Amino acid sequence: MSPVAPLILATFLFCVGVYGVIARRNAVLVLMSVELMLNAVNINLVAFQSLIWQDAPAATGQVFALFIIAVAAGEVGVGLAIVLNMFRNRASVNVDDVDLMRW
Amino acid sequence: MEILDYSWLIVLLPFAAAVIIAFFGKLMPLKGTEVGLAAIVIAWILAILVAVQTFSNGPIEAVEHFFRWSPLGNGFQLELGMYVDGLTSMMFLLVTTVSLMVQLYSREYMLGEERFTYFFAMLSLFTFSMLVLVIANNTLQAIVGWELVGLCSYLLIGFYWEDKSNQDAANKAFLVTKFADVGLIVGVIVLSAGVMDTGLTDTPFNIKQTLDLALSGHLSSGTIILGCLMIFLGAVGKSGQMPLHVWLPDAMAGPTPVSALIHAATMVTAGVFFIARLYPLFAQELVVMNTLAIVGTITLFFAGFVAMVQDDIKKVLAYSTVSQLGYMVAALGVGGYTAGIFHLFTHGFFKALLFLGAGSLIHAVHSNNMSDMGGLRKHMPHTYWTFILGSLALAGFPLTAGFFSKDEILVAGQTWGNNGMWTGNMVLVLGLAGSAVTTFYMARSCLLIFWGDYRGGHAHHGAQDHESHAEVVQGKPHESGWQILTALVSLALLSVPVGLSGGFLWPSDERNFETWTASTEIEGTQYPFIVGEQEAVDHWNEFKAEHLAEGAGGDHVEGEAATAAGDHGAPLAGGDGDVLAAPVLLATEGADGGDAAHATGAVLHGAPEFEPMLAGIALLIFLASVGLAWRIYGRGKPEEDPTFNLGPVTTLLVNKYYLDDLGYRFIVVPVRDKLAALAYWSSQEIIDEAVKGVGGLTKRAAVSTYRTLDQKVIDGGVNGAAFSAAWWSERLKRIQSGNVQRYAAALVIGTVALVLVFAAAAA
């Protein structure tokens, strides 16, 4: 099977993620967009391993994908904790409101 | 020869001592004297070792070490170095011995003085300076030492600078010798220019090379005459020859140990030493030799008379020193190389002794004047016998040091006269007359000081009396302490053997003062102006060549041995009787001298020679003078001193031949009233105005610099930098918005841009 279709899917997902990170104002949605980008990468890893280097002695791509899923879970945990604290302090999850670290 | 290579230590030890005393002397338990004494003792021991080494080897090739100090341009080099031969080691011995004695003596004599430590630093510095002069292997280094001793002399004459008269004496000494030093420097430059012109060496100031070039005929006679006469002018000033001796009696304003060390034994002999160092050069020209002889004779004869009318004991000794220096110069002027420096050597010891003895007297009596002394032989027995011994040596009593050396000078004059030189006879006759004067004034001094009744005790502490001890001692004078007496006795005991070393009683013909101080240059020198000289030399060379050939062809004698044999060979003496008669010259060389090599005329010195006639005459003169002095002064100080009762003669002598007055009227007054006024006017009107103008210009330049450069350019630059930084930061700070999404967008844009760039680069 050609890797083109998975790569197009991954690119699409990544672009959606980037758009979400830059354009959404809701912090939760920004976090979710980050997850989209991570998963786009996961698709790439798995696709390359299984379609191009399937004879490789170790399944490095899949293992990497598993690691990323684990790290993403942790990251989302931390991120949601920050968002919760933000909401508690400001009663808002709008990222435009948190620009205190500026000139 | 190894010890000779370390001779420089003798020079540097006193210097180290001077520096240490100057910086740390006051902190030391003995106020720095221990450092000075330790250094001079070591230097003295080294000097003895060096002297033994050179003495026991006879005339040696000088040991010369030097390093290139600085380039002079055109490839010529200036050196700093050492030149050690018999003459150098003789001076080492003299300077270190007298310096040692004087330092020991001063520890007691100067006790309680203000500036006690300073005094010892100066003594060490002086010793160093004198040794720099002595060890110099080039004339420039010698000038350095020469000027340094002049500086030390100036500082020590003015040691009691609180008194205006002492300042004046120091200034007088400095200015008079400085005037003469101009001659010295000109002479050295003339000689070095002559050496440079030959192009045969790259060290034009080197003494040995200068002498070699002169002896091989590379220097023109004009160069030699001008150079030698100018150098002699320097010696006239430094060694107190008439008419530039005027500073020496005034120099007695310094402390007495200084008078002994500097103005009697060592520094004033620097001129004589320097002439001796360059003697082969001086011997080339008759006019130079005659100048030496005439100036020396005038000095030795006339200075003695002034000593007869002095009441100040130190002034007596000062004029005596001038007179004895005249003997030395006169001896050099009549071919008596050995005689001159032998007298320098012996005179150094006994004159130092006399001055130190005088200091001991002054210390006890608190007055310089002999009219305040009298009868002191009972109170100061040790000072008495040492002073008498010194006086006998100075007067030339048989078997004392002065007897041998003065005898040699007279014999030198006689020999010179026998070679048809009128200056020789002049030195002989006036030298004998001068010795009568010497004997008379020394006998007068001794009788006034030690015989009769004590006339002092009425302690009048005048202006000149600051040399006295802190506590005023009333009543009877007392003998000095052990340190003064050690110095006196040592010098007194030395006054005899130093004379024997060059006298006819010395057992060895091979190792004596004459062979000691005869350098190889001296051995090879001839008097070109003596008739028959060249013939004799030619004969001698011929003979030597033959002899050498025989030696080499015959029984395998080494070349050197053959030469040595030739030195004592009779054939020349026998074969050329008539030629020999003329150039027997040389100093004390008798016509019957067994030493044929010397009889060739290729020598400037001679072995010790005894002339019974001369010695007899000298002894008669001695006895007559002492008898005369005894008649006048034998029963204490006469009511009216006959030397003050000779009408115009006394006036002339008391006024010191009016030389000081002439100098004052025709040099000091014009310089002070005209030249100094002119200099003041030029200082006020020209230099000050120029300085003012320069100052005004500088101020204007400074103001305009302030206004344009500082205010506009520099301040503008600094302010502009600040303002532009503020302007830019006001705009650039907006990038830091705090909005995370903007940062993320920038990140994405940047990444995309990079990807595009790399893609373009790859494609």
- For B525-550, write each residue's pLDDT tens digit: 777 776 555 555 555 556 556 655 55
Hey, of B730, B736, B740, which one would you mutate to test binding to chain A, going by the most A CBs within 10 A of its CB? B740
Please count the residues of chain A. Answer: 103
Identify whether B389 is part of a domain. no
**How many domains does one find in chain B?**
2
- The answer to whether residue B744 neighbours chain A at the CB level (below 8 Å) is yes
| Cβ–Cβ under 8 Å, residues B153 and B118 | no
Per-residue model confidence (pLDDT) at position B562: 36
Kindly give, in sequence order, each residue whose CB lies less than 8 Å from that of residue B708, ignoring residues fewer than 6 positions away: none
> Where a domain ends, among B578, B599, B620?
B599
Contacts with B737 from chain A: Cβ below 8 Å: 99, 102-103
Contacts with B744 from chain A: Cβ below 8 Å: 21-22
- The whole-angstrom distance between A93's CA and the closest CA on chain B is 14
- pLDDT confidence of B644, banded at 50, 70, 90? low
Mean pLDDT over the full length of chain B:
78
- The answer to whether residue B748 neighbours chain A at the CB level (below 8 Å) is yes
Mean pLDDT across the stretch B93-111? 87
Q: Residue B413 and residue B425: Cα distance in Å, rounded? A: 6
Mean pLDDT across the stretch B203-219? 82
Q: What are phi and psi of B381, to 5 degrees?
A: -60, -40
- The answer to whether residue B726 neighbours chain A at the CB level (below 8 Å) is no
Identify whether B480 is part of a domain. no
User: Largest Cα–Cα distance of chain B, in whole Å?
Assistant: 133
| Cβ–Cβ under 8 Å, residues B265 and B324 | no
Residue B592 pLDDT > 80, yes or no?
Answer: no
- The answer to whether residue B734 neighbours chain A at the CB level (below 8 Å) is yes
Identify whether B564 is part of a domain. yes
Identify whether B86 is part of a domain. no
B298: three-class secondary structure by DSSP: helix
Segments making up each domain of chain A, as ranges: 4-93
Same domain, B670 and B740: yes
- Which residues are paired to B70 by β-bridges? B78
Q: Residue B122 and residue B108: Cα distance in Å, rounded? A: 16
Q: Tell me the residue type at A53.
A: W
A103–B744 C-beta distance less than 8 A: no
Tell me the per-residue pLDDT of B310-342, one tens digit each, with 9 for 90 and over: 888 888 888 889 999 999 999 888 878 888 888
- The whole-angstrom distance between B733's CA and the closest CA on chain A is 6
Residue B101 pLDDT > 80, yes or no?
Answer: yes
CATH class of A4-93: mainly alpha
- B675 burial via Cβ count (<10 Å: 0-12, 13-18, 19+): exposed
Q: Which residue of B has its CA nearest to A18?
A: B748
- The whole-angstrom distance between B730's CA and the closest CA on chain A is 10
Mean pLDDT across the stretch B384-406? 83
A95–B741 C-beta distance less than 8 A: yes
DSSP string for B68-133? EEEEEETTEEEEEEEEESHHHHHHHHHHHHHHHHHHHHHHHHTTT-TTHHHHHHHHHHHHHHHHHH
Mean pLDDT across the stretch B460-472? 44
- C-alpha pair distances (Å), B329 with each of A14, B184, B325, B415, B716: 116, 16, 6, 16, 77
B201: three-class secondary structure by DSSP: coil
Contacts with A96 from chain B: Cβ below 8 Å: 739, 741
- Which residues are paired to B81 by β-bridges? B66
Contacts with A30 from chain B: Cβ below 8 Å: 741
- The answer to whether residue B737 neighbours chain A at the CB level (below 8 Å) is yes
Identify whether B216 is part of a domain. no
Same domain, B755 and B662: yes
Q: Which residue of B has its CA nearest to A19?
A: B745
Q: What Rg, from alpha-carbon coordinates, does chain B have?
A: 34
> Where a domain ends, among B549, B572, B599?
B599
Identify whether B721 is part of a domain. yes
Strands of B689-728 (E only): list them: none
B69 or B186, higher pLDDT: B186
B744–A99 C-beta distance less than 8 A: no
B744–A96 C-beta distance less than 8 A: no
Tell me the per-residue pLDDT of B166-184, one tens digit each, with 9 for 90 and over: 888 888 888 888 888 999 9
Token readout for B644 is: 């003050």
B733–A103 C-beta distance less than 8 A: yes
Handedness of CA B71, B72, B75, B76 (dihedral sign): negative
Handedness of CA B308, B309, B312, B315 (dihedral sign): negative
Q: Tell me the residue type at A1.
A: M
Its pTM stands at 0.69
- Give residue B734's domain range: 658-762
Identify whether B734 is part of a domain. yes
Residue A19 pLDDT > 90, yes or no?
Answer: yes
Identify whether B429 is part of a domain. no
| Cβ–Cβ under 8 Å, residues B608 and B503 | yes
Tell me the per-residue pLDDT of B45-59, one tens digit each, with 9 for 90 and over: 988 888 888 888 766
B734, B738, B748: residue with CB nearest A22: B748
Which DSSP state fits B657? G
Give me the total of CB pairs closer than 8 Å, taking one residue from chain A and one from chain B.
Answer: 30
Per-residue model confidence (pLDDT) at position A88: 92
| Cβ–Cβ under 8 Å, residues B356 and B484 | yes
